[in-house]
């Protein structure tokens, strides 16, 4: 629905309410005399799915204020008229408010599930891979490099290259080298967090040795599911601090042995989101898929240390 159409609907509803108020003015009891004006709130029900929430809220608040002002001006407030006034205001304002809340929660649910599907695609990614944003950037660099090489091949930009073409070639080479270096540090976990709108705002990852790339698909899935459960509503009690912190490594510490083919990667999770008592069985089952773990609570922060046994030379 366009803004113009929404504005016209509001004008029509205002006219309906005004005409109804004019017709019942002489009754001096809007709570028992209002007729068509009561339906104005129900007319806003389908609009909650078509327009931004702030516009619908403004319309609901405006409608409620009009009813309150008219009731104060036209109707004597007494024990006999007050119940009718409260009922009228509730019937007019409450239904669209409930509809707006339901639509808002449904949109949040859909956005969350879409976000989870996007993040889940990283479970089967290689040990080192580029994310979607980096893929677009590499496609741009690839196209620029192809144009430059094609110009050299067909003679439109003969050798030696001009200063402008040489500068473009040097810039492309520098950007490609930077992407190559970054690609050796950015694992699937980095891309899963940064490409998620919800996890990106609530989760901090420390993985200097890129150990997340060694995790198997089952361990990756367990780690992601645990993070989703621990993030909760994504709001930290301490502004500026992440809701969940994940640290991988270092390997070879006490209690985390390393052999020629296998190594025990410590995965430390600190959660300030959902309290321990509110974590459901799904969260603990997800942690179990990572590996054996221990948990404790200190100063209201849940600390989980998992022993994640992985191959030193993964095939992914």
> What is the DSSP annotation of 272-297?
-SS-GGG--HHHHHHHHHH--EEEEE
Three-state DSSP state, 207: coil
- What confidence score (pLDDT) does residue 133 get? 53
CB contact at 8 A, 88 and 20:
no
User: If we measure between CA atoms, which residue out of 28, 24, 47 comes closest to residue 36?
Assistant: 24
- What confidence score (pLDDT) does residue 268 get? 92
- What confidence score (pLDDT) does residue 230 get? 87
CA-CA distance, 273 to 263, in Å (whole number)?
30
- What confidence score (pLDDT) does residue 215 get? 87
- What confidence score (pLDDT) does residue 26 get? 86
Would you tell me how many other CB atoms lie within 10 Å of the CB of residue 213? 23
Helix, strand, coil percentages in the chain from 3-state DSSP, rounded to 5: 60, 10, 30
pLDDT per position as a tens digit, 19-63: 999 988 888 888 888 888 888 999 999 999 999 999 999 999 999
Q: Which helix (H) or strand (E) holds 307?
A: strand 301-311
What would the two tokens of residue 53 be? 């929430």
User: If we measure between CA atoms, which residue out of 100, 108, 129, 106 comes closest to residue 188?
Assistant: 129
Would you tell me how many other CB atoms lie within 10 Å of the CB of residue 271? 27
CA-CA distance, 96 to 188, in Å (whole number)?
43
Q: Which residues of the chain have pLDDT under 70?
A: 125-139, 141, 176-185, 233-241, 252-260, 313-316
pTM above 0.75, yes or no: no
CB contact at 8 A, 187 and 223:
no
- What confidence score (pLDDT) does residue 139 get? 67
């Amino acid at each position: 629905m366009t803004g113009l159409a929404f504005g016209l609907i509001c004008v029509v509803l205002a006219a309906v309410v005004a005409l109804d108020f004019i017709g019942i003015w002489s009754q001096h009891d809007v709570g028992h005399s209002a007729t068509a004006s009561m339906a104005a709130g129900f007319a806003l029900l389908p609009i909650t799915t078509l327009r931004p929430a702030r516009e619908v809220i403004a319309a609901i608040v405006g409608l409620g204020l009009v009813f309150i002002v008219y009731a104060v001006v036209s109707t004597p407030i007494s024990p006999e008229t007050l119940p009718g006034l409260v009922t009228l205001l509730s019937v007019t304002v409450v239904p669209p408010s409930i509809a707006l809340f339901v639509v808002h929660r449904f949109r949040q649910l859909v956005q969350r599930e879409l976000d989870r599907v996007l993040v889940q695609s990283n479970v089967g990614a290689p040990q080192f891979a580029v994310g979607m944003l980096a893929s677009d950037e590499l496609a741009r660099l690839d196209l620029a490099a192809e144009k430059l090489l094609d110009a050299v091949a067909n003679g439109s930009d003969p050798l030696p290259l001009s200063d402008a073409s040489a500068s473009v070639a040097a810039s492309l080479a520098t950007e490609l080298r930077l992407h190559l270096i970054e690609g050796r540090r950015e694992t699937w976990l980095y891309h899963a967090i940064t490409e998620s709108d919800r996890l990106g705002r609530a989760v901090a990852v420390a993985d200097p040795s890129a150990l997340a790339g060694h995790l198997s698909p089952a361990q990756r899935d367990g780690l992601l599911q645990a993070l989703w459960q621990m993030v909760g509503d994504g709001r930290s009690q301490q502004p500026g601090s992440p809701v969940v912190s994940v640290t991988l490594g270092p390997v070879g510490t006490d209690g985390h042995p390393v052999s020629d083919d296998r190594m025990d990667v410590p995965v430390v999770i600190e959660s300030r989101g959902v309290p321990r008592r509110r974590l459901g069985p799904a969260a603990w089952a997800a942690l179990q898929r990572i590996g054996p773990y221990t948990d404790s609570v200190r100063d209201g922060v849940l600390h989980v240390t998992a022993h994640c046994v992985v191959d030193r030379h993964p095939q992914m």
